[in-house]
Amino acid sequence: MAFAQRARYSWQLRTRALPLGERTRIMGIVNVTPDSFSDGGRYATTELAMQHALRLLDAGADLLDIGGESTRPGSPAATPDAISTAEEQDRVLPVIAGVLRERPDALLSVDTYRAATARAAVQAGVEIVNDVSGGVWDAAMLATCAELQCGTVVMHTRGKPSAWPAHAAAADEHISAHVLSELRDRLQQAETAGIARSRMVADPGFGFGKRGTENWRLLHDCAAFAELGYPLLVGLSRKGFVAADLQAEQQGSMQVRDALTHAANTAAVLAGAHLLRVHDVPGAVLAAAAADAVLQAG
């Protein structure tokens, strides 16, 4: 049985480099929000979010992705009804400061589509900007990341969250080619804006404007994204499609979704993923170790 040969990269961040490819890197999710789809409200205060972040680091997360606004399907993100930039920063900046105070060497990413928040977070010590829109929702984002010389995750998104529930499904056989083409364009635009190739990671954006089985097809074809020539980040964690075929009570179980996530993430690693963005860090560490062992055996 053949698996993808994962390329090696040195991801250049703001002040350091992160080797990618020898083993899978785990990005732990810290949602400082009242309304995220899986853990909204659990870590909505600075203290709760900071303690959660420290637990994820202790559990083996290589880096943390801290976000202050939900981009779940149907949310008002990137519309006039979205939370303000000031509110987003009020949520994330104290957590960033608190984590770095306790763990000065912690590697942090900020999950934001706003250039102003990206700038504030990097000035507070963040190394990476993870923009789910790939620089689409804020025209200043790509130039800002270029100026800040930070690590940048360029993700593919179809439309805005408020429109996703009404999206017509694409033909499954066309979704991967569509995402590959548009993500290539976004990466090229980022490079044109001045972001060095060595600072970028690509993310196909599972669940972001893709419906149901489109996501499984995208995962099936994940190895094709190696042709972009960038490290690959995959975010499957607790997404609705992983549990879509289960009974309602199982669909709502985060324990069930985590188990399915780890299975899907194993497939992603065997198809070439370099980083996994996850809620359940301990389980992801184990799943990634098993998948890495398979790759190393080959």
Q: What is the rounded distance in angstroms from the CA atom of residue 89 to the CA atom of residue 70?
A: 13
Collapsing DSSP states into helix, strand and coil, what is residue 235? coil
pLDDT-flagged residues of the chain (< 70) = 1, 35-41, 169-173, 246-252
Active site residues: 239, 277
Is residue 183 within 8 A of residue 134, CB to CB? The reply is: yes
Instruction: Note the pLDDT of residue 4.
Output: 83
- DSSP state, residue 197: G
In a domain, 248, yes or no: no
User: Terminal CA-to-CA distance of the chain, rounded, Å?
Assistant: 10
Residue 189 belongs to some domain of the structure: yes
293 is a domain residue: no
- Please name every residue paired with 233 in a beta bridge, in sequence order, or none if there are none: 275
Q: What is the pLDDT of residues 260-294, one digit of tens each?
A: 999 999 999 999 999 999 999 999 999 999 999 99
pTM for this predicted structure: 0.94
Mean of pLDDT over the chain: 92
- Whether residue 76 is contained in a domain is answered as yes
Range of the domain at 229: 18-235
In-domain check, residue 170: yes
Q: What is the pLDDT of residue 243?
A: 78
Task: Calculate the dihedral angle through the C-alpha atoms of 12, 275, 153, 251, rounding to the nearest 10 degrees.
Answer: -160
Give the single-character DSSP code of 67.
Answer: E
> Would you say residue 263 lies in a domain?
no
CATH code of the domain covering residue 80: 3.20.20.20
> 280 and 29 in contact (C-beta within 8 Å)?
no
Total domains, the chain: 1
Tell me: the pLDDT tens digits for 138-189?
999 999 999 999 999 999 999 899 888 777 766 666 899 999 999 999 999 9
The answer as to whether 109 is a domain residue is yes
CB atoms within 10 A of CB 7: 14
